[in-house]
Structure formats: C-alpha cells, structure tokens
Structure 1
Amino acid sequence: MNSGILPFVIGWCRRHIEATSLILLSISIGAVWMLAELTDEVVEGSTRDLDRDILLLLRTPGDLSDPIGPWWLEEMGRDITALGGVAVLTITTLIVSLFFLLLRRWSSALYMMITVGGGILISSFAKDFFGRPRPDLVPHESIVHTASFPSGHSMMAAIVYLTLGVLIARVQPKFILKLYVMIVASVLTLCVGISRIYMGVHWPTDVAAGWLAGGAWAMICLIVARILAQRGHIEEEVVEEAG
C-alpha cells in the first residue's frame, strides 16, 4: 500500500508546485491568525486560570517546589531545555551551514543563515515588546532573566529546528527522508517547549505562542525558498522521481 501512496504523493507535489505552496501559505496564515488570537487572550488575562491549572498540574501536590516524577525526569528536563538555548542553537546552525557548504549549495547556506538570524531577532523583539512577567506560582528550575511571552526557548527552537528541517528536507531526494527530518525537527521543538513548562519558567500560553510563531516563520521561509529557487536565486529542491 505504501509503495503506491508515496509515489502518488511525490508525483502530485511535483505536478502541483503552486498548489502545495498555497497549502503551505494557508497553514502559515492559520498559524499567524491563531497567534494573534492567543496574544489577544493573554493580554486580556483570559488565559490566567488555564495557565495556572496546567502549571500546578506538573507539580507535586503539597510541595510546589517539586516537579512531578522521579529525580531523573527533572534532570532530563534541564538537559532538554538546554536544546533551546542560544549556545546549542548556534552550534546546530553552524553545523548545518557546513553541511550545505559541503554540498556546494552556497546560496542555500546563505539563505539559511539569514532566515534563522532574522527569526531570532524577531523572537528577541517580541519578548521585549510584551514584557509579560514570569510565573511566580512555583520555583524556577532554570535561571531566567528575560520576559515571559512568548517563550524564547520555544520560539527559537521552533525557528531554528523547523527552519533547518525544511531546508534540509529540500536537499533530500527521498520522501521518507524528508518526512524523517521534519519529524525530528518537530519532536525537538515540542520537547523544548514542554520542558520550559515543566521547569516552571514559562506559562503554557508562552510556549504555545512560541510554537505558533516559530512554525509560521519556518513555513514562510520554505515558501520564499521555493519562490527564490524558481527565479534561480537559490538551488532547486531535490525531489525523488515518482515510480
């Protein structure tokens, strides 16, 4: 069954490049719309009870200083949350840049650096603009200095991992490899966001906003990459031959 479905999907995408771009654009617009609605609810304070309930759900009843689960789960939370830190994301971006350079895809490497850098700048601006206080219900399990909304770790993880994911997927010939790359990027993004809530340093809506913003940015970057490739400014996407 799979042997029949995959060639059909690959062939359809190749024959309807404008349609697939339109689908991606629709997803991006939907994410931006959801982000705007969520931001409005947060500013009005409508999400306060939901944020509070979810945050307390991840703490041991009677001891808010203790996250639920064994000690090693808390240690894993610290390790995973570091995947959304500036150092790890910078190293990851440099490694993927070298990957593109080794493939002699110079324009793609430059485009990747611009899109990732631009996304991170937007993330920093957004935190300064909203200035939402950090959660004060539970002790923080990680050192924090900046504002809370949107979650910087979640947004930057989404921007970096998802943007790198869609650009790496463009140079993979097989559909299954493209899918694998995007699944890995998505799982990393989700894990970083969940860890920020578990560590008590972000409200759940902070993380949701970071995911939506980063996801929309990655989709927009993919659409722009397709447009630039059609105009010959960056390398074409590698696509597996159907059948």
Structure 2
Amino acid sequence: MKDSSTATRLTQWLVRGIKTGNANRLPVVLFGIVTLGVYAFIEIADELAEGELRKIDEGLFLLLRSADDRSVPLGPPWLQETAVEITAIGGYPLIILTLAAVAGFFVVTKRYGAALYAMLSVGTGALLSQTLKNYYGRPRPDLVDHLDTVHTMSFPSGHALVTTVAYLTMASIIIGFLDNNRARIYVVFVAVFVAFIVGVSRVYVGVHWPSDVAAGWALGAAWASLSWLIVHLLRRKRPGGPS
C-alpha cells in the first residue's frame, strides 16, 4: 500500500501544471499519429535497406539545384544564407537554449511536471535520433558540397526529428492552457511550419537526402504524440481525472 501511495503521489507531481485537452478525442488522435508516424518511418527504412530510394532521393535532391550547375542551390545568394540560418533553428545549441528557457519558466511558475515533461520528451527524442543514426549508418549525400558542417550519419535527419519533437512538445503544453480553438490551431501550425522549413533547409544545404528528412518528420511526430499520450493517460489516473 505504501509503494502504491508513493507511486500515486509521484504521478500527481509529474502531471501537475499540465493540461492535455479533451479526455475522449485526444487519445484517439494521438494514437493515430503514433501509428501512422511509426508506419511511415518503417516503410522508408525498409525502402532504404532495399536500395530503392536512391533514384527518388537524387531526383528530389536535384530539384533544389541549378540545372546548369548542380553544385549551386536554386535562388540568389541571400537565400542560401537564409537557409543556413534556418537550419540552425534545428541545431542542438538553439534547441537546448529554447528548451531551457521554456523549462525555466515552468519551474519558476511551479509547473514542475510541465518542465520535466518537456525535457524528457525532447531529451529522449534526441537520444532516439542518435541511436538510429548509428544503427542505419547511412552516409551523407555526396552529390554536392555541403553548406553546413556535419559530423554524424544521415538517416534519419536529426534536425527534422528533434525539431519536430521539440516544437510539438512545447505546442502541446501551450494549447492545454488555451480555450480558443483558433489559437490552438495557430500554435500547432507554427510548430509544424518550423519543423517543415528546418527539414527542407537540410536538403537545400546539401546535408540530407529527402527520405532522411521525411523519416525524421514521421518519427518526430510519433514520438511527440507518444509522450503527450503518456502524460494524458497519467492525468486521467489522477484522483478526479483531468481538469
């Protein structure tokens, strides 16, 4: 009984300060995203293992390159500089700084569960990314010079995966405190848009194949949704249910 009571208090502490939304619809939606995301990732990984993605990847990759000289990205020089700056949004330094600022806000407002949830979701997502990169060991694109410095393997895109997890996680916390549906849609749209432009920028600067980015988006959405679903289920176990 004592162990059970301790576990209950710990669960209550973990979810304190988090609002997860509709108690009936949300689990179904989140489970659907998890399922579709994992399925998409597995399908891409299978095609990668069979060597059937190379031609598709090269075709999509070269769409962002000049027809006269494929070593030159499409667009003026300022667009190349912008792409490098956008891709930095998904880098670990900025993700960590943003996460620290958000978690710090939750700590000073005594929403400790929200702070822990954000750090665990993003931290485990980053760990998952590195583990899969080492497992698949896919080399970076070799068709053009890279506009960004890279030190890890290519599949899946860590920028796409971690950015998707980070911004969807933060969005999930924010929308729990919003009553206006338009505001909720806007917050989710911003999170998805940031993940999208970061992923596209990785292909544009020449450091990822399109399939790397697609796999990162799929698994990132699945991981963020799974984290959100776990917190939602923990809240439902609280005395009195979700608020």
Instruction: Flag whether TM exceeds 0.5 (same fold).
Output: yes
Offset at residue 107 of structure 1 (A): 1.4
Number of residue pairs matched by the alignment: 222
- Secondary structure of the residue aligned to 2:154 is coil
List runs of 5+ in structure 1 lacking aligned partners. Answer: 1-12, 238-243
Moved more, 75-84 or 20-29: 20-29
The 5 A counterparts of 1:95-110 are: 95-110=101-116
Deviation of residue 102 (structure 1)?
3.8
In structure 2, C-alpha distance between the alignment counterparts of 1:105 and 1:177, rounded to whole Å: 22
Please tell me whether the aligned partners of residues 58 and 198 of structure 1 are also in contact (alpha carbons under 8 angstroms): yes
Which whole-Å CA distance do the structure 2 matches of 1:97 and 1:172 have between them? 19
Match 2:195 to one of 189, 193, 212? 189
Q: Residue 8 of structure 2 aligns with which residue?
A: none
Q: Give the TM-score taking structure 1 as reference length.
A: 0.86
Aligned residue number for residue 144 of structure 1: 150
| Paired residue secondary structure (1:184) | helix
The runs of 5 or more residues in structure 2 that have no matched partner are 1-20
2:51 maps to: 45
Residue 172 of structure 1: CA displacement? 2.6
Inter-partner Cα distance in structure 2 for 1:55 and 1:112 = 33
Q: Deviations over 1:19-68 (max 9, x none)?
A: 43123202211111111111100111111111001111111122122100
1:84 aligns with 2:90: yes
**Secondary structure of the structure 2 residue equivalent to 1:60:** coil
Higher relative contact order (CA 8 A, sep 6+): 2
Code of the residue aligned with 2:181 in structure 1: it is F
| Between 161-170 and 149-158, the greater mean CA deviation after superposition | 161-170
Question: Are residue 209 (structure 1) and residue 215 (structure 2) matched?
Answer: yes
Percent of pairs identical after alignment?
40
Distance 1:228 1:190 in 2: 30
Residues 148-205 of structure 1 show CA distances to partners (whole Å, capped at 9, x for unaligned) of 0001111111111111111222223332222221111111000100000000100000
Asked if structure 2 preserves the Cα contact closer than 8 Å seen for 1:159 and 1:215, the reply is: yes
Partners of 1:46 and 1:125 in 2: how far apart? Answer: 23
Moved more, 204-213 or 154-163: 154-163
Q: Measure, in 2, the Cα distance between the counterparts of 1:170 and 1:220.
A: 16
